[in-house]
Amino acid sequence: MSHAAHALDPHALEHPTSTGLDSRKLAIWTFIGSECLFFASLISTYLVYRGKSLVGPFPHEAWTSPAGQHFEPILEIKLVTVGTALLLFSSLFVVIALNGAQRARRGQFLTFLGLTIMCGIFFVGMQVYEFTHFVHEGLKLQTNLFGASFFTLTGFHGTHVTIGVIWLITMFILGVRGKVPPAKSLNLEMAALYWHFVDVVWIVIFPVVYLMK
Amino acid sequence: MTAHPAATEHAHEHPGIGTYVKVGLFLFVLTAAEVAVYEIGYNSAGSAFGSILHPVVVPVLLALSAVKFALVAMFYMHLKQDSRLFSSVFVFPLMIAAVIILALIGLFAYHYSFQKLIH
């Protein structure tokens, strides 16, 4: 294989394995599989405690405390819908960025990776605003079962998004410095797989937490 | 050592940008449908369509969510084209996760109903 052809082959740096698959890709899939169990435990906890809070604020119902303080339903569906749409589009952008990286289209790779990062940052910003708003409205981690399970579930998801954004920024910097040639595009593919996983977790969390009463 | 023939056989080419965009638009439509089901099923439950939709809001939302999940996994995570070993490594824990969720919901439903009975 010539040097130029070697540089364009995404699998040129793979080590030979008994399965014929790259061990790094198998490792990220195994990690994602373990993360499924992690989020299953958090989603289970949220569902088990759903509707069991003794005091408000509540997600979908207004509540007046014994002291006469009134609380409106706390969830902001419109804001979170925008965040959800952006997270979905970020999955589209990162897969187009990967397509560019695999075909040595540097402009496509960097533009769409940049868009993905911006969507991720907006999503984290949306979540920070939401959490701050909830605390101001009187819902904290220790307020009720809804607060405890909601902040734990969405907080861990937000942490995963933040880690994903940092990973993608790292790939962007490496891309700008010309260190993500097609032969090393698997590095971006692994980051993209993690990012898609974060997206599919939100695909479950969005209806379960925000849309189901 | 050479690549396993069965593994390389399944390592097909990833889809093009056109397919990704079509899937993205469909995901966007499904998300809009989810919010529409929520609005009509809960907030317009008095209307004719709302009254029909209200009892099935949860199953409809779960079905839409499952379709979105499958689309992202198949097309964006390339499980449709990549080796079946990756699908197995992902789907097997996913099935355990589903069993965990259902088992815990069942156990706690029994626990709460038992508590109500003894009080």
pLDDT tier at B13, thresholds 50, 70, 90? confident
Each residue's pLDDT tens digit, A164-190: 999 999 999 999 999 999 999 999 999
The A residues from 120 to 149 touching B (CB cutoff 8 Å) are: none
Closest alpha carbon within chain A to B107:
A48
- For B93, the closest of A19, A33, A203 (CB atoms) is A33
ipTM of the complex: 0.88
Q: Is A24 in the B-facing interface, judged by CB distances under 8 Å?
A: no
- Contact yes or no for A179/A106 (Cβ under 8 A): no
What tokens were used for A98? 């990967």
Q: What is the pLDDT of residue B12?
A: 56
Question: Which residues from chain A sit within 8 angstroms of residue B108, using beta carbons?
Answer: 48
Phi, psi of B33 (to 5 degrees): -65, -40
pLDDT tens profile A27-36: 999 999 999 9
**Positive or negative torsion for Cα A54, A59, A64, A65:** positive
Q: Which residues contact B23 (CB under 8 A, 6 or more apart)?
A: A92, B71, B75, B76
Structure tokens of B86?
Answer: 């990756």
Closest partner residue to B72 among A25, A33, A203, by Cβ?
Answer: A203
Q: Which two tokens stand for residue B73?
A: 């996994």
Q: What angle do CA A170, A175, A178 make, to 5 degrees?
A: 130
- Phi, psi of A14, deg, nearest 5: -65, 145
H-only helix segments in A73-184: 77-102, 106-137, 145-176
Residue type, A186: L
Instruction: State the Cα–Cα distance between residues B64 and B66, nearest whole angstrom.
Output: 5
Average pLDDT over residues B73-88: 92
State the average pLDDT over residues B22-26: 96
